[in-house]
Structure 1
């Protein structure tokens, strides 16, 4: 099975969010399971030099985008056994960062076109093109409109994976006509039309063969108005070709036994985890106390992550006998909230308004609990890493958080964390207080950690579901993977 993943970012080359983690780690597990899987990305300026210096230029050609005749180069790099291709055009990609430019519609229109145009030049004609988020969303549209009738392209199937429905790549219809040479029949309400313009994301949803999301619960949620971002009606109509497959994490990369960022490596040793806590307390200037509960937030500081609930309850949270460690950047008001808390309560709060991967790993390894009160969460990776490092998650029951964290039941001894259903600040406070109370009950806490130990959130199971989905597309059977 030949599979090409098309996405706008991937670890270790470039990362702005969880999409990069998925594209960096999923292909390795797919390859282990026998797939010939490759990845195509834009060649951004920010890719570290030690990778760009190893790249081999494998193709150069002229790409037709509307009326434009554009240079397109394809570079190749084998990383950890996976072939990565990089779409090169300095006008579009020789800039800092990935997104946020006024011509993003044109930049990712070029990327979508380049993915399809490049296939004969790289001598790789995939059975499946697996498109990720809005930046790759027009690939299924272009395939249907301009490529599917060509003999050597005729049998390709396309999958559209939604990592976050909130971001839809909506631009003017005139731009879509210009860049993609599409007629009005493609720009109406059932096709690409969105908010009076047109949408990359909607294009991928309508024109792909299969739609997936990054968790089963999110697949259900986005069919409702609350989570559906005005696409819930479309998604309900397409539910017969939609499924949710949980993200995983790279267990080789995320391993407290071998993680070079940790002061003391460990697996299930509570004593060694506490030693990491003491080292982190020393580093951050918090009072040294291995027995005080430490709750972590490693997150983007934005509304989606439920920080309005934290803001609403900040005084009650700071009255608790708990240490708080925050790491992340985002909206000014939340950065200022945590800076204020750290200034007012330096013995209880460490606010690190930045992102530092090494410090993040130390926080996972040192914290006793990990808070994710998200308003919505398509999958969430933080709770999976937390459990890998034996930090007990406290989450809101939404999306992948609901799928991966089983609430603790003291009557049965089952459960891997603590959760609350309603997006309500008092419910969050009560759940945190309950978690802290069980932390002080060693028998209950040991039971929770033992339950976490038995869970497997590696990519193995999820990759096998994707592999089965690819097989069903190429060799059709009766129903999709559920």
Structure 2
């Protein structure tokens, strides 16, 4: 992985949120790249239940300050950063008072999805991309974890499709058996249409269920990693229908060589052939 640049965009990362398959691999995979000589950037939402004092988050003024348009509303983008203890890794947090101040992640105390989770996902995707543009940091690979990050491939391939910074970037999506019941706001597709995304790109989002959000993410990815040993039959079938490199499930204690080989020999194949 020497000198390769990998951007990690995740719904959750340990130690900032509880340990799950997604939060664990969002920590272990960038650590592997970092340990093997690559360059990394990690992004996640700054959910309100993340203890800023304990984790020593602080705002990055030079990156904050822009407004993102979400459904015709100006939403201020705040960027915070923290260092993972004992590791040479920083995590960038996408923040906004309206979307991420509440002291929870995705659901209220009764377990109901927050009604604006769709807008939070759109804001997160656009916020990551705009911040990476400000950093002027062109990634070789963009690795997406979790459904809250699922709009990123869609926006990169459509809304930001002509941006030269991402011209050679390859998108990898890890798909997990971590879903939610029901659907996000059914008006989500109209909020996406506000950004003039291709109608074909929105084919699965008339009903934004977990499976349909992940189908959209996978459709606009260049490669796929199975982050769970078992996936839903619908997702498994969709993965099998795509003409994409797929890496089967590898546990956190045995993934490192498999991920590195996949990155270098499958995801970056075109780059190698051109070289």
Q: Please indicate the TM-score interval, normalised by the length of the shorter structure.
A: 0.7 to 0.9
2:202 counterpart residue number: 187
User: Residue 114 and residue 143 in structure 1: after superposition, are their counterparts in 2 closer, same or farther (change >3 A)?
Assistant: same
Superposition deviation, residue 179 in structure 1:
3.9
Give SS of 2:8's match.
strand
Q: Which residue of 455, 464, 473 maps to 2:257?
A: 464
2:23 counterpart residue number: 20
Higher fraction of helix? 1
Q: Distance in 2 between matches of 1:16 and 1:63?
A: 31
Larger Rg: 1
Alignment of 1:226-241 (within 5 A): 227-228=232-233, 230-238=234-242, 240-241=244-245
Superposition deviation, residue 6 in structure 1:
0.7
Q: Distance in 2 between matches of 1:67 and 1:195?
A: 20
Alignment of 1:210-359 (within 5 A): 210-214=223-227, 218=230, 222=231, 227-228=232-233, 230-238=234-242, 240-248=244-252
1:70 counterpart residue number: 75
Superposition deviation, residue 74 in structure 1:
1.5
Q: Distance in 2 between matches of 1:23 and 1:138?
A: 17
RMSD: 2.8
Check whether the contact 2:141–2:169 (CA below 8 A) recurs between aligned residues.
Answer: yes
Check whether the contact 2:59–2:79 (CA below 8 A) recurs between aligned residues.
Answer: no
Between the two structures, name the one with larger relative contact order (CA 8 Å, sep ≥ 6).
2
Per-residue CA deviation, residues 228-275 of structure 1 (Å, 9 max, x unaligned), is 1x3444222126532214131xxxxxxxxxxxxxxxxxxxxxxxxxxx
Alignment length, in residue pairs? 257
Superposition deviation, residue 126 in structure 1:
1.3
Q: Distance in 2 between matches of 1:13 and 1:197?
A: 23
2:131 counterpart residue number: 118
What runs of 5+ residues in structure 2 fail to find an aligned partner?
108-113
Say whether 1:200 aligns with 2:205: no
Q: Distance in 1 between matches of 2:179 and 2:259?
A: 23
1:41 counterpart residue number: 44
Q: Distance in 2 between matches of 1:168 and 1:148?
A: 32
Q: Which residue of 111, 132, 137 maps to 2:145?
A: 132
Q: Distance in 1 between matches of 2:227 and 2:200?
A: 31
Check whether the contact 1:7–1:133 (CA below 8 A) recurs between aligned residues.
Answer: yes
Check whether the contact 1:75–1:88 (CA below 8 A) recurs between aligned residues.
Answer: yes
Q: Distance in 2 between matches of 1:184 and 1:125?
A: 28
Superposition deviation, residue 56 in structure 1:
4.1
Give SS of 2:94's match.
strand
